[in-house]
Amino acid sequence: MKFKFLKSPIMLIMPAIIAISIVVIIPLIFSFYTSFTSYKLTRPDSLFNFVGLRNYERIFSNSEWWWTYLRTILFLTIALNVELLLGLGIALLINKITWGQRTLRTIMMFPMMFSPILVGFQWKYIFNDNIGLLNNFLYLFGYESAIAWLIDQKLAMGSILAAEIWANTAIFSILLLAGLMGIPKDPIEAARVDGCSSWQVFKHITLPFLMPFIFIALTIRSLDVGRAYDIVHIMTGGGPAMRTELTWTTIARIGYKDANMGMANAMSYLSIILSIAFTYYFFTKLKASRQELGQ
């Protein structure tokens, strides 16, 4: 027979291979290849201009990029920690409520229902130094000099963080609340009888039970925050003087504004390493916390 190979097991996995190729493998290989070219969006012929490791060499000697890289790590760390603490607090409070809990859970999820772009716009106007709600509110309390929230280089990052935290804390709350609801009552009651105060019950019993949920939430959110672009783009556009640029806003600027796609792709691969590192770290922790519980 002519197409003998079609009878082999290869044929059976062919549909999956084709699907994965189209969705993942081909774009991956293509983008990886372009990171070794001087590919510019405006000059398609440059796609075949192979430059070897030049893009990477340039990135490695570009201190501005590394500041952005560090800033992204800092942004991730602060956002995840604050969201975790706030989310945990909210989840613990809601878990105590017996009447109206469902309604509260729904209300809590409102920020997640808005487009990040719109959240960015809204917070941009809250933080606006002239007409913003925040400055007007401060004015009422006698604080008369307008604060340039989005223009001051130190405050701008904090303002973006505030918006990011407002929009996404609910994700932590929901995931942790699910975890809290799944904790068996018995060990908690046993601990109370064993002499634990509320805080000790939380520390010694609730928290270990909650750890897997915390790390799942952190994994999901680290991927989410790690690719932050929209909120920054809307609120500050990366300014002032690129002081609020994160890796992906930089990549977008270089890739689409400067049309330097080869360089942008090289940066993307370095950014992805960051996300992989976070995910790997949290998964290791997740596994350990599950083992701890004997799961």
Partner 1 sequence: MAEVNLKNLTKKYGDVVAVQDMNLKIPHNEFLVLVGPSGCGKSTTLRMIAGLEEISGGEIYIGDELVNNKDPKDRNISMVFQNYALYPHMTVEQNLGFSLKIAKVNPSEIEEKVTEAVAILGLEDLRKRKPSQLSGGQRQRVAMGRAIVRRPDAFLFDEPLSNLDAKLRTQMRTEIKKLHQKLKTTVIYVTHDQVEAMTLADRIIIMREGFIEQIGSPIEVFNNPVNVFVATFIGSPPMNVIECEVVNENNNLFIKIDKDMLMPCPPSKKDKLKKSPKVYVGIRAEDIVPSENSTDAEKKGWNFEKSIDLAEPLGTETQLFFKLNDKDVISRMYNPRVIEVGEKIKFEVDLEKIHLFDHETEKAI
The residue ranges that bind partner 1 (CB under 8 A) are 184, 186-187, 189-197, 200, 204-205, 208-209, 292-295
Query: Is 95 or 122 the residue whose CB approaches partner 1 more closely?
Result: 95
For 11, the token pair is: 């044929």
Nearest residue (CB) to partner 1, 145 versus 295: 295
Question: Which CB atom, from 119 or from 191, has the smaller least distance to partner 1?
Answer: 191
User: Which of 223, 232, 213, 128 is closest to 173 using CA atoms?
Assistant: 213
* CB of 195 vs partner 1, minimal distance in Å: 4
Q: What's the alpha-carbon Rg for the chain, to the nearest Å?
A: 24
Contact between 65 and 250 under an 8 Å Cβ cutoff? The reply is yes
Query: Taking the mean position of all CA atoms in its chain, how far away is CA 142?
Result: 37
CA distances from 52 to 29, 43, 211, 256 (A): 15, 18, 45, 22
Least distance between partner 1 and beta carbon 100 (Å):
18
Q: Which residue has the tokens 């600027």?
A: 253
Nearest to 255 by CA among 24, 25, 12, 55: 55
Residue 206 beta carbon to partner 1: minimum distance, rounded to whole angstroms: 11
CB of 87 to partner 1, least distance (A): 22
- Taking the complex as a whole, the smallest distance from the CB of residue 288 to partner 1 amounts, in Å, to 11
258 vs 292 by CB, closer to partner 1: 292
Question: Least CB distance from residue 198 to partner 1, whole Å?
Answer: 9
Q: How far is the CB of 202 from partner 1 (least distance, A)?
A: 13
Q: Which residue's CB is nearer to partner 1, number 101 or number 200?
A: 200
Query: 64 or 189, CB closer to partner 1?
Result: 189
Closest alpha carbon to 129 in 220, 7, 235, 226? 235
State which residue, 85 or 293, has the beta carbon closest to partner 1: 293
Per-residue b or e along 248-273, where b marks 16 or more CB atoms closer than 10 Å to that residue's CB = bbbbbbbbeeeebbbbbbbbbebbee
Would you tell me how many other CB atoms lie within 10 Å of the CB of residue 162?
19
Q: How far is the CB of 200 from partner 1 (least distance, A)?
A: 6
Nearer to partner 1, 57 or 292 (CB): 292
